[in-house]
Amino acid sequence: MCVCVILCLGESGLGKSTLVNSLFLTNLYIDRCMPDVSEKIARTVSITKNTVDIVEDGVNLRLTVIDTPGFGDALNNHERYFKFYYVDQEMEKYRRNEIGLNRKNITDNRVHCCLYFISPHGHGLKPIDVNFMKALDQKVNIVPVLAKADSLTPKETHNMKSKILTEIDKFKIKIFQVPDSDPDNKDLFKQQTEEIKRSIPFAVIGSNAVAERNGRRVRARVYPWGIVETENPSHSDFVHLRNMLIRTHMQDLIHTTHYLLYENYRSGGGRTSRRRTANRVQGGDNGGRSQGRGVTYRPPPGRRILAPQEQHREGGTLGEGSGGGRRTESMADQSEGGAREETGGTWSMRCQVGPRPQP
């Protein structure tokens, strides 16, 4: 089984949980209780961890989704910052297991991807976004996501994306770089890779509600002035994000984590003491940035990859087959068969031996 851990980070109320439900056609937070404002004042960031098993093109995938309710709620967010050590802790656990005697069956809980949710209402990034992304970018693949994009017109979305990318560049925040496709990849894969690259930061819309559109049941948000379909590429980049996460680039996320970020951590570049973390928030040092990213990850040439699914109009394939976990059945009737193609090479999403890639 292929295991991928996804961390959802971003201000409270940006639709993290709803997006996860939409991405994996599940209902992970059915028993969630929203804190009221007095609880928000009292508490710190909490971590909720949910696992969902899905079957994608006959391949079993186990996705662990970590949500962080309470993030950004505080009046003074410095405190919250210092208490967020989850990524480091999991790297350290893995390192200790790796140097132990019995390392055949290590459970890999390292975070392979951090979906960082950016508010559509700020004028670009907020200071809290810059601080968090800079603090994490040596330890995890950051995928920036422009949340609740249905509150932005197409022109506003374009401007917001440009501003976010400019600020990411200006502050030298390292985000996950989608590798170029190989010349021997299928045209559809190449096209999808290009679409994914163009979409970053992904402007996404999630929904827990289902509406009827042209005889199909789709996840949608129903407004008095129109219906927003989450999977309609002309409404949002949701499809591109989902393709990247569970179809075309999951292996890249896992391998970058192991070969680049984890190696960087082991060599000391990613391990950040509390004191150094504190300094970086104040803008006092660069957190050893220069050490970490000397090694560049390149996927091996001719690797074996799963080809992308057919586009939105042909219907999704999520939920097909025997996918178990906490996936709800309400959306299962949506799934139809999808195309499956493979190119030659050595790597595959059909990894049955556990999450740790063999060098």
Distances, alpha carbon 1 to alpha carbons 61, 108, 148, 354, 356, in Å: 6, 12, 32, 6, 11
Q: Which of 225, 313, 344, 346 binds a copy of itself (CB under 8 A)?
A: 225
Instruction: Give the one residue of 44, 89, 151, 162 binding a copy of itself; rule: CB under 8 A.
Output: 151
Contact flag: residue 33 with a copy of itself (CB under 8 A): no
The one-letter code for the residue type at 310 is: E
Going by C-alpha positions, the residue among 45, 202, 40, 196 that lies closest to residue 120 is: 202
Q: SS3 of 250, please?
A: helix
Which is nearer to a copy of itself, 70 or 292 (by Cβ)? 70
Tell me whether residue 118 or residue 307 sits nearer to a copy of itself (CB atom): 118
What pairing do the DSSP bridges indicate for beta strands 2-10 and 59-67? parallel
Question: According to CB under 8 A, which one of 188, 210, 227, 278 is a site residue for a copy of itself?
Answer: 227
Contacts (CB under 8 A) with a copy of itself, residues 102-141: 119-131
286 contributes a contact to a copy of itself by CB under 8 A: no
Q: Which one of the spans 222-230, 257-265, 323-331, 345-353 is the region binding a copy of itself (CB under 8 A)?
A: 222-230
Considering the rule CB under 8 A, would residue 35 count as an interface residue with a copy of itself? Answer: yes
Handedness of CA 33, 63, 146, 83 (dihedral sign): positive
Q: Of 50-109, which residues contact a copy of itself (CB under 8 A)?
A: 73-78, 81
- Distance in angstroms (rounded) separating the CA atoms of residues 357 and 359: 6
Nearest to 139 by CA among 263, 27, 223: 263
Q: Which of residues 328-347 bind a copy of itself (CB under 8 A)?
A: none
Q: Which stretch binds a copy of itself (CB under 8 A): 36-44, 47-55, 186-194, 337-345?
A: 36-44
* Among the listed residues 58, 154, 300, 301, the single contact to a copy of itself using CB under 8 A: 154
Report whether 110 contacts 90 (CB < 8 A).
Answer: yes
Question: How far apart are the C-alpha atoms of 325 and 26, rounded to whole Å?
Answer: 9
Rounded to whole angstroms, how far apart are CA atoms 150 and 156? 11
CA distances from 268 to 175, 201, 293, 295, 298 (A): 20, 29, 12, 14, 22
Q: Site for a copy of itself (CB under 8 A): which residue of 53, 167, 263, 342? A: 167
Chain residues in the site for a copy of itself (CB under 8 A) = 11-15, 34-38, 40-41, 73-78, 81, 119-131, 148, 150-151, 153-154, 163, 167, 170-171, 209, 221-229, 234-235, 281, 283
